[in-house]
Amino acid sequence: MFRPLLSSFVLLAAVQAQSITPSGNYTPTFVPCPTDSSLVRPASEGLSSAEKAWLQKRTPNVISALETYLGNVGIPGFNTSDYVAALRAKESAAPVIGVTFSGGGNRATLVGLGMYQALDSRVPDAIAAKTGGILQAATYIAGLSGGASTTAVIGVNDFARVSDLLAAGNLNFSAGPPQTAFSVIADKAELGFNISISDILGINEGFFYFKTANASVDQLSLTWSGIQTNPTFLNASYPLPILMANEVIPSGLPGSNSFETPNGTVLFPRYENNDTIYEITPIEYGSWQGRASAFASTKFSGTALSSGAPLDSNRCVEGYDSAAFTLGSVVTAINLWIIENLTDGIDGQFAKRDVKGTKTSSTFIPYPTNAAQLGEERTANASTAFVEMLPLLFELMGNPPFESALYGLWPNPFIGFNASSESLQKQSELMLVDGSEVGQENPIVPLIQPARNLDFIIVSDGSGSELSSGWMNGTNFLNTDTWAKGNNLPFPKLPDVNTMLNLKFTTFPTFFGCNEPDVPLLLYVADFPYTSFNNFSFLDDFPSGQEQIIMSNALSTISQDSDRLTANWTSCLACGTVLRSLQKLDMKVPEFCETCFKDHCWQGNSANSAPSFLQPSALLTNPNITFDIWNQTIFFNSSA
């Protein structure tokens, strides 16, 4: 997911305490290597010692947050005090809760931020709606593509409130980084590091998302590993942020899923269910399954390693994990749109396709009568800006090989490391790409790893890539199910996409896995027009005043309009947070929760007839207010 240089989404932190690169800017630095820790470890060891230590501090905070949250929402027939006392006597039974933020461009970023504030106990509206506090009780958040921007903004800015960021004027849709900002990429290249589109994306993203309160601190110097020095991390008072990416196997290697250019023909990548999915935490990066099956230190990423040890003990690297570059590496769906716009695309010579359809003056595309036309217009809207980036990219990169230009390039830490596949051990660089290109827009994979033992996952889906109208039908959700089963990971049974639509599982929050005690309980929450129509194209921007309208839709959705749309829903949601924990404690599940799950959890039934074209009205406004009326009145007037 990419934002045009002159039209970008901006968030900056009011407070930033984390460490910066030794260079004080985007450029990595060579430093002496640590002598007291290993830089690479096999995934078979389970969680890293650092994550385990953090969890020991996090769990008591989770229990306290749950006590406050459950006290506010209330579950009929449930004694919160007895439950919390049981948890304090047996902390291992405390629920492990995760929240995922999907890909889907600017829409997904805003939908994710909306869900973040809808679950935040510091937000009065969320407390009043009885959803605030789940964030404080969660142990993990994860994002990819547009949702990676959400996760990065949250993590790097030390879990600042959205309202604080907005009040500080940290949304700016009219400006972009100056051209001079990109000169630091050349400094990185002069040190011998290969550069790619992810560096340009990173500068763009970092310039907006990570601006510091201290003007003397270069925002591009903030690092992803530096989150470990943030107060919320040190105190384990908020969840651990995780970014999800996909590994690309270079052309010519077995199982290659890269873009290829045989005989001058550009082909789309081939992504399979056995692809290696990477995660990047502030502590380490790597994969649990697949070719890597190992993890390396995030802080010392970029270091030349062999068999897990530095080639030169005096020449480790710090600062390669600039938060800007790290984010740039996982929002690279740009490469798909670049390919779509190529008609003569080899050796840096590009020509744009002629595209039909234009955006409306207020940033949204009205529904054409022809669904194919709508899909074409949404793609054209997203892709034109990407092609305009190509001259700058190739000028900065010195016309590199086409393939390497399109991915996030990380020096391979798994060279000669026995836990990794033989082909990866011989590969000089990792090529990482936007996780949505696996066909999974929801970054669930890091949270279903058995080592983390998740109990409850809220899946916030604002992808909008599945239906031409920009709404969801569950395809990406089902793709994760297929991938998980192919890798023997626990995942609840899911219905087909027709059933998802016909039974309105993409309209109302729906549980999956209630009757499967050996899998995490999932709550699928698709973005749907409750108070706003968010089905805009991936790269649209917004005048001031419109962002909160988009974000507020999440609170209406997750709270079911504070129980007005679905009676007692927020208490049912609370049941989801404690179900697996009650089972661990051998405590009786309240009768209310049993009824709740019968009503709001998929019971295995199907309704697989072909659904009609999805063109909904807003659920919480006058049903006569169509998208066109809403767009030209409520939404458009909000920017006046």
Tens digit of each residue's pLDDT (9 = 90 or more) over 235-244: 999 999 999 9
CB-based contacts of 595, cutoff 8 Å, min separation 6: none
d(CA 2, CA 104): 10
Residue 366 pLDDT: 38
How deeply is 418 buried, as exposed, middle or buried, from its count of CB atoms within 10 A (0-12, 13-18, 19+)?
exposed
pLDDT tens readout for residues 264-282? 444 444 445 568 999 999 9
- Tokens for 371, please give them: 């669904």
Whether 587 has a pLDDT exceeding 70, the answer reads yes
- pLDDT confidence band for 219 (50 / 70 / 90): confident
Per-residue pLDDT, 6? 25
What is the pLDDT at residue 355?
25
- Specify whether the CB–CB gap between 443 and 83 falls below 8 A: no
Between 14-18, 59-63, 402-406, the lowest mean confidence (pLDDT) is in 14-18
Whole-angstrom Cα Rg for the chain: 23
**Alpha carbons 515 and 95: distance in angstroms, whole number:** 17
> Is 4 among the domain residues?
no
Tokens of 66: 């749950």
Do strands 429-434 and 240-248 pair parallel, antiparallel, or not at all (unpaired)?
A: antiparallel
| CA distance linking residue 185 with residue 139, whole number of Å | 35
DSSP lists the bridge partners of residue 101 as: 143, 460
Query: What's the domain range around 546?
Result: 50-636
How many folded domains does the chain comprise?
A: 1
Structure tokens of 330?
Answer: 């996982």
Tell me, yes or no, whether 35 lies in a domain. no
User: Is there a domain that residue 17 lies in?
Assistant: no
Whether residue 73 is contained in a domain is answered as yes
The residue with greater pLDDT, 207 or 77, is: 77
More confident residue, 119 or 186: 119
State residue 353's pLDDT score: 23
As a whole number of angstroms, the distance between CA 118 and CA 611 comes to 31
* Residue 292 placed within a domain: yes
CA–CA dist 548, 113 (Å, integer): 10
144: domain CATH number is 3.40.1090.10
Give residue 115's identity as a one-letter amino acid code: M
CA separation for the pair 498, 475 (Å, rounded): 10
633 has a pLDDT exceeding 70: no
Average pLDDT, the chain: 83
Instruction: With a cut of 50, say whether residue 513 has pLDDT above it.
Output: yes
N-terminal to C-terminal alpha carbon distance within the chain: 28
Give SS3 for 354. coil
Does residue 44 lie in a domain region?
Answer: no
- 25 in a structural domain: no
Report yes or no on 1 lying in a domain. no
For 515-566, what is each residue's pLDDT tens digit? Answer: 999 999 999 999 998 888 887 765 556 666 678 888 999 999 999 999 999 9
